[in-house]
Amino acid sequence: MSNHAEAIVSLSAIRENVATLRAKAGVDLMAVVKADAYGHGLVPVAEAAIAGGAKWLGVALLEEAITLRKSGISAPILAWLLPPGSDFQSAVDHDIDIAAASIMALSEISKVAGTKRPRVHLEVDTGMTRGGFLNEWSELDPQNFQGMEIVGIFSHFARADEPSEAQNLEQRNRFKKMVATLESLGYTNLIRHLSNSAATLLDQPSAYDMVRTGIAMYGLSPDMKTLGSSKSLNLKPAMTLRAQLYLVKDVPAASPVGYGATEFTERNTKLGVVAMGYADGIPRIAKNAGIFVDGKRAPIIGRVSMDQFVVDLGPDSTAVSGDLVTVFGTGESGEFTADDWASASGSINYEVVTRIGPRVPRIYEP
């Protein structure tokens, strides 16, 4: 292994997950590849998702969408986080659909309307109280849409991963009303999209014309407690994170380990120093996670450092300096998973995979 660490990304897992989700939804699927495809790699993942049956790609930033276009991807792309002052002309030039969430945004988009009309999806706030039209929705009239093509309307669930929550039905009903308002202005040929991964898996009535799948297409459960594991959802985790043991050494009992001496060895043991740290995306506060080596788990001991963390290999370990270890994977062999690391750091699997830093090369398996 020439790298201190590497993230192995299975493109076949991405393809299969997208196909599974597309079949479940029964409508078009938008593959959400924002944030470097949740840390998995923007362009390779986008190509795999399209091969798996995704019709659309979704990104947050315009730059992400332009990168996809410059890589030769011709599928429809929606970019939904374009603040005032964004280069809307570039979006039009690259055939990128734009989200608008305010009258100010529509006003700016209308300024770039020419022979080639901007394609716009209107984002509405149905109860998440984040992005989207709220009070301004009642003020809209066709004048606001001059020179542009209104392609779609969309919103975002706040609690779709909690299927029993009344807010989900409230949001869907509010979405229906806001769609009806837009249709009353004469805009009827719309792509309506509301469902995220959790809703795609659990809430068929919210599928409308298209679903947007993020975390599930990477093979991870939107919520282990309410939806179950990847395996129970018929999804395959796409990323395996591996690293090298920089050093293995014998250490006596009662030795303080790491910054702040927050933990001590409980016995004479072997410790392993893993060549990854919080600069690579390993959460500094992680407890009860670790690595998999020699067919067993070895837990973190002490605080995670910027470039390394220490694990207790146990006194009988046969691991040696330079060995390759699994930080997280599918769990099929007993290794820690992204869900385990999320639990160990008080976070969610989304953050665990997305925060793996640029020092860790992505290695793609077809």
Q: At 284, which CATH number?
A: 2.40.37.10
Q: Do 95 and 244 share a domain, yes or no?
A: no
Q: Do 349 and 268 share a domain, yes or no?
A: yes
Q: Do 139 and 45 share a domain, yes or no?
A: yes
Q: How far is CA 314 from the centre of its chain?
A: 35
| Residue at 6 is within a domain | no
| Residue at 3 is within a domain | no
DSSP 53-91: T--EEEESSHHHHHHHHHTT--S-EEE----TT--HHHH
Q: Do 115 and 263 share a domain, yes or no?
A: no
In the chain, how many domains are there?
Answer: 2
What are the structure tokens assigned to 17, written together? 């997950």
Q: Do 175 and 67 share a domain, yes or no?
A: yes
Q: At 116, which CATH number?
A: 3.20.20.10
| Residue at 255 is within a domain | yes
Give the active site residues.
Answer: 34, 259
Q: Do 158 and 42 share a domain, yes or no?
A: yes
Is residue 163 within 8 A of residue 172, CB to CB? The reply is no
Q: What is the pLDDT of residue 1?
A: 66
| Residue at 172 is within a domain | yes
| Residue at 283 is within a domain | yes
Instruction: Give the helix/strand (H/E) hosting 7.
Output: strand 5-10
Q: How far apart are CA 112 and CA 45, in angstroms?
A: 31
Q: Do 150 and 245 share a domain, yes or no?
A: no
pLDDT mean values, one per 10 residues, the chain (366 residues): 91 98 98 98 98 98 98 98 95 98 96 95 98 97 95 98 96 98 95 98 97 98 95 97 97 98 98 97 96 97 98 97 97 97 97 97 98
Q: Do 23 and 125 share a domain, yes or no?
A: yes
* pTM summary value: 0.96
Q: What is the pLDDT of residue 3?
A: 86
Q: What is the pLDDT of residue 157?
A: 98
Q: Do 254 and 327 share a domain, yes or no?
A: yes
Q: How far apart are CA 129 and CA 338, in angstroms?
A: 29
Is residue 338 within 8 A of residue 350, CB to CB? The reply is no
Domain boundary residue, one of 225, 256, 276: 225
Domain boundary residue, one of 225, 253, 286: 225
Q: Do 60 and 112 share a domain, yes or no?
A: yes
| Residue at 78 is within a domain | yes
| Residues in CB range of 287: below 8 A, 6 or more apart | 300, 344, 345
Q: How far is CA 248 from the centre of its chain?
A: 34
Domain containing residue 83: 11-225
CA torsion sign for 164, 166, 171, 174 is positive
